[in-house]
Structure 1
Amino acid sequence: MGAVKTKRMPRAVREQQMLDAAVRIFGQRGYMAASMDEIAELAGVSKPLVYLYLNSKEDLFIACIRREATALTEAVRAGVRPGLPADRQLWDGLQAFFAHTAEHPDGWSVLHLQARTHGEPFAAEVAAMRAEIVAFVTRLVAVAARAAHRDPDLPEGEVAGLAEALVGAAESLAAWANVTPGVTARQAAATLMNFAWSGLGNLLSGHVWTPPA
């Protein structure tokens, strides 16, 4: 009897299978501990095929970072509807962010923990994603300032600083929420919204805290 022939899988589909497996292994075991043998076994392919498609462990990890970063930024942007008040846009964006990181904990581990701690070029890939999200939040804060009709000329540096602080808080809160039982994406978003928007609301209303002399 001849060998049973199986239908050949398209390269793009096979590559996504490899990336799925790699994100899971990298996210759960870490970049250094992960092995190409494990990734190939989980993907159901041979190790030489992984190397053929993705060249090296480093290139595979970069491909994982790029895919997960793109998915996260697209999820946040898709969650925000233009034309709504700034606080509603921020709320929707936060919900989308926390929902995505909760649904893809291994991907978030790759971005937030693994890529940042293993130097270049991994950290640069995450920095590019983070810069895009910070720029997005910066625009929301600037829109809120103009909408308040109190400080339409809020200094650009201050707006950027607020956006950096908000994104940093969201990152830390997502990492905490993913390992804390019972914390939903909506609860995490509400926690940060209450923390951040109260301060932003005071700032836009002219109630600015001043350090002691």
Structure 2
Amino acid sequence: MGAAKGKRMPRAVREQQMMDAAVRTFAERGYRAASMDEIAELAGVSKPLVYLYLNSKEELFTACIRRERTTLVEAVRSAITPGEPADGQLWSGLRAFFTHTAEHPYGWAVLHTQARTQGEPFAREVAVMREEIVAFVTLLIAEAAREVHRDPSLAEREVAGLAEALVGAAEALAVWANTTEGVTAKQAATTLMNFAWAGLGNLMRGEPWTPPR
């Protein structure tokens, strides 16, 4: 990327180029160990230019988290077609999630590994993303359950725990899929559907599992 040094280009393009380099550096080196010199070198620009465009290392890391958070949430939301059966919507969302995390492994590493371990305010930035996805999944499951049970008063809190568990499983599975050779996004999504939908399907039919007395 050094060949790009000195080449004139629009500010927005140059800024994204620097952020791409920053995301990769933070993912590979960790927030503490990553240096602005490394980021500038990878981006093919001078270190003063990185500071001019993106200010401090802390602000750069925050900007990277927000960009990766936004693109991941948008990828999941845009993949789901309202009005589809609940299992179809969940399948579409999971495939989009695993496809995105596989195609953007550095971004996923920044969100799932780096940001969460660096304390506030970075961890909070990721928590906002997770809360949004959990709320979205909760609403999806609740709406499907209301339709099946013909009970418009069914509270979202009754399925909120299932959404938390499902999102947590997806996060863990994405890490496994990205570090296990030969696992595709479709296979990862199928694995989670096989694991989760049996239980969700029983819930929809009014046949939840209950512990033995």
Cα deviation, residue 82, structure 1:
1.1
Question: Helix, strand or coil: the match of 1:211?
Answer: coil
| Gap change, CA 1:64 and 1:75, over 3 Å in 2 | same
Q: Is the 8 A contact 1:40 1:50 kept in 2?
A: yes
Which string of whole-angstrom CA distances, capped at 9 and with x for unpartnered residues, describes residues 1-30 of structure 1?
Answer: xxxxx7631111110000000001111111
**Residue aligning to 1:192:** 192
Q: What letter is aligned with 1:179?
A: T
The residue number in structure 2 matching 1:3 is none
Tell me the number of residue pairs that the alignment of Structure 1 and Structure 2 aligns. Answer: 208
Give CA deviations for 1:166-189 in whole Å, capped at 9, x if unaligned: 000000000110000010000000
- Measure, in 2, the Cα distance between the counterparts of 1:155 and 1:111: 31
- Whether the 8 Å CA contact 1:151–1:204 is kept in 2: the answer is no
After superposition, the C-alpha distances for 1:105-161 in whole angstroms (9 at most, x for unaligned) are 000000000000000110011011111111111111012102212665444222111
| 2:75 aligned residue | 75
TM-score for the superposition, normalised by structure 2: 0.94
Percentage identity across aligned positions? 77
Query: C-alpha separation between the residues in 1 aligned to 2:133 and 2:198?
Result: 21
Aligned residue in 1 for 2:128 = 128
Residues 24 and 106 in structure 2, CA contact (< 8 A), matched pair in contact too: yes
Which SS does the other structure have where 2:212 is aligned? coil
Q: Secondary structure at the match of 2:83?
A: coil
Counterpart Cα distance in 2 of 1:39 and 1:161: 40
Distance 1:117 1:7 in 2: 36
Q: Write the letter of the residue equivalent to 2:123.
A: A
Amino acid at match of 1:207: E
Amino acid at match of 1:24: R
CA 89–30 in structure 1, closer or farther in 2 if over 3 Å, else same? same
Aligned partner of 2:3 in structure 1 is none
Matches of 1:196 and 1:65 in 2, distance apart? 29
Q: Supply the distance in 1 between the matched residues of 2:19 and 2:61 (Cα, whole angstroms).
A: 9
Aligned to 1:95: 95
Q: Distance in 1 between matches of 2:168 and 2:151?
A: 24
> Structure 1 stretch 203-212 or stretch 193-202: which is displaced more?
203-212
Specify whether residues 40 and 68 from structure 1 end up closer, same or farther in structure 2 by C-alpha distance, changes over 3 A only. same
> 2:128, 2:56 → 1: CA distance?
22
1:36-55 paired onto structure 2 within 5 Å: 36-55=36-55
Q: Does residue 1:137 correspond to 2:137, yes or no?
A: yes
Aligned to 1:59: 59
Amino acid paired to 1:92: S
Query: Which residue does 2:84 correspond to in 1?
Result: 84
Name 1:206's counterpart in structure 2.
206
Counterpart of 2:164 in structure 1 is 164
Letter in 2 for 1:144: A
1:16 corresponds to: 16
1: CA distance between counterparts of 2:43 and 2:83? 43
CA separation of 1:25/1:199 partners in 2, compared to 1, >3 Å: closer, same or farther?
Answer: same
Unpaired segments ≥5 residues, structure 2: 1-5
Maintained 8 Å contact 2:21/2:39: yes
Moved more, 127-136 or 100-109: 127-136
Amino acid at match of 2:212: P
SS in 1 for 2:158: helix
